[in-house]
Structure 1
């Protein structure tokens, strides 16, 4: 069990707004009663991820992920329940009592949580060394020299690692942190002979956060200009919590601004992010020197479809990073490009011209990527027919990455003007490339080493079994109770009370519905109301998942029907009719299953008197089945 008190968990569940929580990670748009977005858990182009503010739940109709606010944080960040509660408690300013670092608590933490905890300790340790250790003045001088304010340093939790071999390792172990977690995060390096030392020494520390603000790794810059052996920048190695291809520096601090401005600026280095953020351009992230990956692009796509890449004034660097931008196009995002004068980067240029002039510059110089790439290659190929042909192929290949046909058409026209070439030639080249890709894909598949047997003919569809039918009808009854339980049938009874009364003589058989029925029965016995919101927070994951599935609807009726005065009856309009039929169907299938059981028993009875008794019982059941069928409008052959 977690050491977080239950009253704190209840307070978090009560205050956490599902729209706000999910909205920190994806850009939600209202449609009908719910909010929708492309799912953050799998790649999709049409939104199938639904958030219900009224029910406090999310559900993806594509991959099936579902849950409440706490489950969302667990899913999106891969954290445990206690860590998700602590994240939400911090978001909603709910105090979580200090936990005792005893052995029992340590055992309760997962290996992954322990890595987060150690990384958090290291970040705080480096901050303390920057501000409260005599060596920290070296780091402070460097950061001030780079124009960073105390507020920016605090906001991004910058720190300093002492120029000593085991400062962090010794401090962490003294505080009770295990060496294996220090090793696993790459903070401590252990040699074969058992000697250990800190990875980061004498460096300014840049903590790298995940989307929810947890420290997952570090970037570190040396301040020794005369040390030719050590790299200028040193990063944490890959770990269970840090995967470079799925992390963007500054995203945690930038995500709200990205969503608000519907734009993300992409830069290369830590200081680029810090200087721009300080200058009022807060919607900025960095790939931290790595090639742009699909995972990083998907992170940005949670908040916006628009990316502007800010390139250093280095032609070689620009050419090297073009492939990453092709990947952005392939994933359906819009890309613009801004280049700076030779020798300048975003950090140096904003320091040189100031915040206002910098913003004006990027606004005036921003160019869509295809036009930028076309102009870049056309300029290089001027006067050289061979280079021009190669350049055209390069640009056509990029245009071919764009999934939207209309956008492709617009860019083909723009490209034809810049290269002074017929648009149809470009389209023909694109079609040829597509054909070659398809042929290569087919021919690239190795032939199997054996002849596969012919696929067996599909078996005829089997009729639904009794248990399948029973499950369907039990599910429908529970669904109605969950969705409409608190509604009043009349002045005396709620829907849940009425249904439980009508189902008094019915025994549920499917385990999950037995459990849900018993829980709703218990809520009513205690004088409460049956609400789906209560069961969505049940500790049992199977129950939570089933409840969310039962109360989630993929479709909302368009408001245009109402606007045009077209009446479409909703389930709620015919609620009592639906409830009555659901109860009758469930009773009837129970009677039918009981009939089969009693018929089997009759075959085994040999005593005439007992046979008569059994036969009468079967006839009574048959009569009851007929009555139920008549009430449902089902014709039963006599």
Structure 2
């Protein structure tokens, strides 16, 4: 049976492997993927790799390089699994496992997780690709639906928008039509996730309120849209975007709630002026980007406003 020890000091162990930690966010040490060139043939220009400093599990949401810490040692140093186990043990591996397993909170979380039904990709098998009439109504292409993995409940005429973590793991979904809206499971914390972020590849990110608005933007040629699942945008969501995007364009709804949220974000992140911009609705009275024409959407992104120039209706 394979052993999976964990270093006592994971950031220090990463340094020993020659992996530079660019930032520590909570329990995640982020940096450039150490196997990106080998797997993709290209440098990890926008750091997309992280390693959990508690569990040692690592993941690159770009090239999907993931696994336990021992696997990282094997790949970076080029030795055998047994050699990697010895390398980790020399850095307090056994003690680290005992520390983690000895924490009541950790054991409590394991029990709680075990009692929650596990959602898998198979749970989406009941749903189909969105029909033509539904796509035409919202101005969406079939390719955009496929790109974001959005599906359709044909028995209830509802959109099914998956909720995934930044690695692409399925956590649940939203069910939505004009009469019905529901999160599945109900307890999912939307503030910790961004719709479409697992598809983000760096550069300019456009943040909208609704997952279907992401599809609308892609349908008219605007890539890298992500959604906050509503007008409330959390610090966690913004920090994640600032970490991976060169520029964040806020394209919240063109209504009083959207203006208020955008104004609050402007004040909260005024120190990020060069990395924050605002969607330009111009003279449009559309309630959100999803209700605009392709020309209007491209104008809104291409002629985005800096925090110094943007003005919100009172």
TM-score range, shorter chain: 0.5 to 0.7
- 1:322 shift after superposition: 2.1
Instruction: State how far apart, in whole Å, the 2-side matches of 1:299 and 1:250 are.
Output: 13
Q: 1:287: which partner in 2?
A: 228
Give yes or no for contact 2:163–2:170 (8 Å, CA) kept in 1: yes
Q: 2:150: which partner in 1?
A: 158
* Mapping 1:397-416, distance limit 5 Å: none
Give yes or no for contact 2:217–2:297 (8 Å, CA) kept in 1: no
* Mapping 1:505-524, distance limit 5 Å: none
* Mapping 1:86-235, distance limit 5 Å: 112=113, 117-126=118-127, 130-131=128-129, 139-163=131-155, 201-222=156-177, 230-231=179-180, 233-235=181-183
Instruction: State how far apart, in whole Å, the 2-side matches of 1:290 and 1:113 are.
Output: 32
Pairing 1:359–2:264 present: no
In structure 2, do the counterparts of structure 1 residues 312 and 66 end up closer, same or farther at CA, with 3 Å as the change threshold?
Answer: closer
Give yes or no for contact 1:266–1:287 (8 Å, CA) kept in 2: yes
Q: 2:23: which partner in 1?
A: 38
- TM-score normalised over the length of structure 1: 0.33
Q: 1:500: which partner in 2?
A: none
Pairing 1:244–2:190 present: yes
Instruction: State how far apart, in whole Å, the 2-side matches of 1:331 and 1:119 are.
Output: 38
* Mapping 1:273-422, distance limit 5 Å: 273-304=214-245, 306-315=247-256, 317-329=258-270, 334-340=275-281, 341-349=284-292, 352-354=293-295, 358-364=297-303, 366-372=304-310, 375-376=311-312
Give yes or no for contact 1:314–1:342 (8 Å, CA) kept in 2: no
Instruction: Find the structure with the greater CA-based Rg.
Output: 1
- 1:123 shift after superposition: 1.9
Instruction: State how far apart, in whole Å, the 2-side matches of 1:345 and 1:147 are.
Output: 13
Equivalent in 53, 72, 81 of residue 65 of structure 1: 53
RMSD of the alignment, in Å? 4.2
Give yes or no for contact 2:280–2:299 (8 Å, CA) kept in 1: no
- TM-score normalised over the length of structure 2: 0.61
Q: 1:504: which partner in 2?
A: none
In structure 2, do the counterparts of structure 1 residues 73 and 150 end up closer, same or farther at CA, with 3 Å as the change threshold?
Answer: same
- 1:111 shift after superposition: 6.8
In structure 2, do the counterparts of structure 1 residues 50 and 161 end up closer, same or farther at CA, with 3 Å as the change threshold?
Answer: closer
Instruction: State how far apart, in whole Å, the 1-side matches of 2:312 and 2:276 are.
Output: 15
In structure 2, do the counterparts of structure 1 residues 145 and 64 end up closer, same or farther at CA, with 3 Å as the change threshold?
Answer: closer
- 1:346 shift after superposition: 1.2
Instruction: State how far apart, in whole Å, the 1-side matches of 2:52 and 2:134 are.
Output: 49
Q: Deviations over 1:251-278 (max 9, x none)?
A: 112x21xx1x2x2111111221001123
- 1:304 shift after superposition: 2.2
* Mapping 1:390-469, distance limit 5 Å: none
Give yes or no for contact 1:206–1:219 (8 Å, CA) kept in 2: yes
Where 1:369 maps in the other structure, the secondary structure is coil
Where 1:125 maps in the other structure, the secondary structure is coil
Instruction: State how far apart, in whole Å, the 2-side matches of 1:53 and 1:158 are.
Output: 32
* Mapping 1:549-628, distance limit 5 Å: none
Higher mean displacement: 303-312 or 113-122: 113-122
Instruction: State how far apart, in whole Å, the 1-side matches of 2:217 and 2:52 are.
Output: 39
Instruction: State how far apart, in whole Å, the 2-side matches of 1:157 and 1:234 are.
Output: 18
Number of residue pairs aligned between Structure 1 and Structure 2: 242
1 or 2 for the larger relative contact order (CA 8 Å, sep ≥6)?
Answer: 2
Q: Deviations over 1:5-24 (max 9, x none)?
A: x9xx9xxxxxxxxxxxxxxx
Where 2:140 maps in the other structure, the secondary structure is coil
- 1:160 shift after superposition: 2.5
Question: For structure 2, which runs of at least 5 residues remain unmatched after alignment?
Answer: 5-17, 39-50, 61-65, 72-109
- 1:147 shift after superposition: 2.5
- 1:124 shift after superposition: 2.6
Give yes or no for contact 2:119–2:170 (8 Å, CA) kept in 1: no
